[in-house]
Structure 1
Amino acid sequence: MMHGYGFAQYDSRFDGFGSMTFEEVSDTFGVQVEDAISDLELPEDMDTQLTVLEIEERYGVSGQEIASYMVMNMQQLNTTLNPRERLLMRQQATQAMRAGRGSGMYFMQQGNCACGNFTTFNFNESGIIENFAVGGNLLFDSVEISDFEYLDEQITETTAFYQGVDSQILIQDSPMGIFQVRAFANKTVTYNLADGVKASLEKNLSSGLENAVPIKITANNFEGYLVFFRNPLPENPEGPINGTEAEISGDKITVNLVEYSVVMFRASPMQPSLMQTGYRYGGNYTYMHQVFNREIATGRFGAEIAFRAGSDKVSVTNYAPVSLKVREMDRDRIVLGVESDLPDGRVININVDNETINLTNPDRLRIRYDGAIIEEADSIDELFADGNRPLCYRLYENGTASIAVYIPQFSEHEIIIDLVPEGEEGAVNVSKTGEMASDEAESIGADEGINKNEEKVPETGVPKAQNEKGDIESSPAFEFGFAVSGLAAAYGLRYRK
């Protein structure tokens, strides 16, 4: 009987997989036997001449699990596979590994492998992240942090945090695939691009750093950015980080960080299923996320939150000291609380899918700010113009909505997103959809480029995972950030003594 576990249709090496010995499987896919045994939680003294089916019978680790593990960790690639086939295999392996464990965003651990709904990777205590992928799309074969002295780690639902003596790694399972490296001393971060991934300098996105131009990362029909900014959590959060540099050489990106600087990968959100097709981002959607990446560096983008599959598990990423938390959540209704001690305004973004709020009729979507229907802008740039009134801007993109809200000044504010009753759509001033406004945004992006903002000090993001629905209301979104900041301060002081 043939056991290809669904992968033989792409890669013939999986033909007869169940009858292969464990040693043969490891050698075929270039995975160290010892690593595979450890990650799959098999006995250290296991006979590696046992077949996959014999291991399943004796130890209860299924052939499907072993096959999926090999897909996610293989070092010897089948050169006959095209990028789409590799993507489909990785997505299928991710689904198999998470089968029966619920939907939504969260990390499931298997040895050194963290498998999220959007983000997957392997962590090595020497400071190497391997096989970093978003939506099944393998982006970095490895990311190496120089002189990473491992101290501790914590994975809480949607956020993975790894603490070194003088650096931190934070990775988030979210549509944005957030991946930060924070330096508390001079560090070199080396990104080794996966096969088929391209990197290019984006000089029209200003980071305010002469030698650290944002870098665009593309793979098939997917894109994201490496951006650079200052960590606002340590003391003196407005000091300079001159000396941060980045360069591209072939399939390698080298980033030199100085104390308190941060490099972050952030993807333009795309549903994993869409990565299997020839889908491309709409012009307005692309421009919106270019602006977000620009404003992360200037510090005017405060935070963003993502909802998926109607799940209680949401991802919150803070780019400034802005508390963003869920007060209430039900089908077709979300109530958010936003507050900060910052003296001036910030923009937040809310990303939802059709399983969380019914987006089939965009005219029914209602956004209220402190009880009143919020005014809607014609372009994303209006929200970053430092106005004195709240504004929102929204786009619909293939079953998702991105809703950006400008908060002109802080106390405590409430944002409610829900649906107006059917037949009352005309009562709401509805913004243009992505398709309706795309020509306008493409014109802005092509003719004027992204506006440069070099005067403001960059700030960083602080991912925070929120847990089950009962905890959402009372758990401050910035709490995790302060916790890891405290750890960093303690370790940093120890390092500098």
Structure 2
Amino acid sequence: MKMKRVWILLLAILLAVPATASIASASGHQHGHSGYLGYFEYSNGEVKGKFVNFQVNSKSGVIENYTVGNTTIFEKISYENNTIGHIRVSGARFFYYGVASPFGWNNTHKMGYMWRVIMVHDNPVGVLHIVTHGQDVIKYHLAQGINATLSNSTVVLSGKVSAYLFISNALPTIQNNTIYIKTRNNATASVIFIDEVNLNIPKKIKNMEIKSLQKHKLGGEMYIGPKGTDFVNYTYGMNAKLTMKEKNHLQIQVSAQGVKGGRIMLINVNRTMLNYNSSMRLIVKFDGKEINKTSMNNLINCSSSQAMYAVYNNNDTVSIAIYIPHFSEHVIDVESEASSSGTSSGGSSASGGTSNAESSNENTKSSEGMPSPMLWGIVAAIIVIIIVAGVAVAKKSKSN
């Protein structure tokens, strides 16, 4: 009877150990960050992230030592007109809301006073987006080793970085290692900083992003992976959120306020999220209707009244660029299903088609979400110890 109890206890322990390992693995999987996602910590003007670090004056919004990776790009970002503001930090996002009046944020919008919004994302490209309404001058003081040249309404940064300032509705000039962005009265200006040197994505996607930002057509970018989701806003007033995540189906809700004209939404999806491989067919729907597939170049130059998309496959990531012709509130569905032809494809092609590079695909396997080899090694060691202990107990019971 005593032996029976011993073996029941050992069996219970054996069953509990793998279960505990799975729970530990799932917990770590849930709270970790993917390669695109960081996390900001904010205290007394110090903003520290996985990719981006800087200091900020919580009242004025003046930024110092803006650093991406190990490279300081801006010694200081200051403004001609003062604002009084407040800061909000949420996960990988930093926000500053400032107004040039004593009447508060909501009343300032109604009364026409100058206001400023600063948005920073803790990701490899160090996105810094400053939106200003009203007349002002934004001053970007370059750090040592950073050079700037002007190309139309884009400032190209070189030297220690390969980065850009994309400027909309404002006049940029460069003088004495400082970039001056002059905004206009009764107008809203946007300045987006991106350091693409740290982003390991295909050149075709990089080029698409740069061209779209230069044309002010890239509305936002979403990263969807097993460990989290993040949305980067490139058009002020545009928002997106993941509303459904199933084995072969993702659903995204997109909305915008005050946005005129079409915008491109770039969605980077870890292919394991769609169970997607070379034998699958990709389906993209806009407001419930399947839309046509086109090339990246066609998408950038698109002015159609119809939604369409382009896709590029790279190792474990599927990049889907969707042209949204107009705004209210829209739903985007991305699905994968078995292809009868055995090759991946999208909807029927629009004019221009897609290149072989864009439609090519690679089978990949992901180990994300699986317990680590070290963890299973520990489990195996525990099992061996338990078995040895069981044998010893059995021998002792027999001798008794």
User: How does the TM-score come out when normalised to structure 2?
Assistant: 0.63
Deviations 1:370-422 (A, max 9, x none): 44543211233445432233211233457544322123355654322244348
The separation in 1 between residues aligned to 2:213 and 2:118, in whole angstroms, is: 18
Q: Counterpart of 1:177?
A: 126
Q: Counterpart of 2:188?
A: 261
SS of residue matched to 1:426? coil
Deviations 1:319-348 (A, max 9, x none): 265553221135664211235688975233
Deviation at 1:123, TM superposition (A): 0.7
Deviation at 1:171, TM superposition (A): 2.2
Distance of aligned partners of 1:435 and 1:309 in 2 relative to their CA distance in 1, 3 Å threshold: same
Q: Considering fraction of residues, name the structure with more strand.
A: 2
Deviations 1:127-149 (A, max 9, x none): 42122133444321221123434
Q: Counterpart of 1:328?
A: 244
Which residue type is aligned with residue 267 of structure 2? N
Q: Counterpart of 1:403?
A: 320
- Any gaps of 5 or more consecutive residues in structure 1? 1-99, 204-212, 230-243, 275-279, 438-497
The separation in 2 between residues aligned to 1:434 and 1:141, in whole angstroms, is: 44
Deviation at 1:288, TM superposition (A): 0.9
For residues 73-472 of structure 1, what are the structure 2 equivalents within 5 Å?
102-103=32-33, 104-125=37-58, 126-166=60-100, 167-173=115-121, 174=123, 176-203=125-152, 213-220=153-160, 222-229=162-169, 244-259=170-185, 260-267=187-194, 269=196, 274=200, 282=203, 284-296=204-216, 300-301=217-218, 303-307=219-223, 309-317=225-233, 319=235, 321-330=237-246, 333-339=249-255, 346-352=262-268, 354=270, 357=273, 361=277, 364=280, 366-369=282-285, 370-396=287-313, 400-409=317-326, 412-421=329-338, 425-426=342-343, 428-429=345-346, 432=354
SS of residue matched to 2:208? helix
Q: Counterpart of 2:4?
A: none
Q: Counterpart of 2:7?
A: none
Deviations 1:399-448 (A, max 9, x none): 544322123355654322244348864362387579569xxxxxxxxxxx
Which residue type is aligned with residue 178 of structure 2? K
The separation in 1 between residues aligned to 2:336 and 2:270, in whole angstroms, is: 12
Deviations 1:461-488 (A, max 9, x none): xxxxxxxxxxxxxxxxxxxxxxxxxxxx
The separation in 1 between residues aligned to 2:278 and 2:46, in whole angstroms, is: 39
Distance of aligned partners of 1:402 and 1:116 in 2 relative to their CA distance in 1, 3 Å threshold: farther
Residue 183 of structure 1 contacts residue 258 of structure 1 at CA under 8 Å; is this kept in 2? no
Deviations 1:139-160 (A, max 9, x none): 2122112343433222222332
Deviation at 1:215, TM superposition (A): 0.9
- Any gaps of 5 or more consecutive residues in structure 2? 1-29, 101-114, 348-352, 360-400
Distance of aligned partners of 1:254 and 1:322 in 2 relative to their CA distance in 1, 3 Å threshold: closer
Deviations 1:240-278 (A, max 9, x none): xxxx43211242212222233324123265655x5xxxx
Which one has the largest radius of gyration?
A: 2
The Cα RMSD (Å) is 3.7
Which residue type is aligned with residue 417 of structure 1? V
Q: Bigger shift: 135-144 or 421-430?
A: 421-430
Distance of aligned partners of 1:251 and 1:318 in 2 relative to their CA distance in 1, 3 Å threshold: closer
SS of residue matched to 2:213? helix
Residue 299 of structure 2 contacts residue 323 of structure 2 at CA under 8 Å; is this kept in 1? no
SS of residue matched to 1:429? coil
Q: Counterpart of 1:474?
A: none
Distance of aligned partners of 1:267 and 1:361 in 2 relative to their CA distance in 1, 3 Å threshold: farther
Q: Counterpart of 2:385?
A: none
Which residue type is aligned with residue 171 of structure 2? E
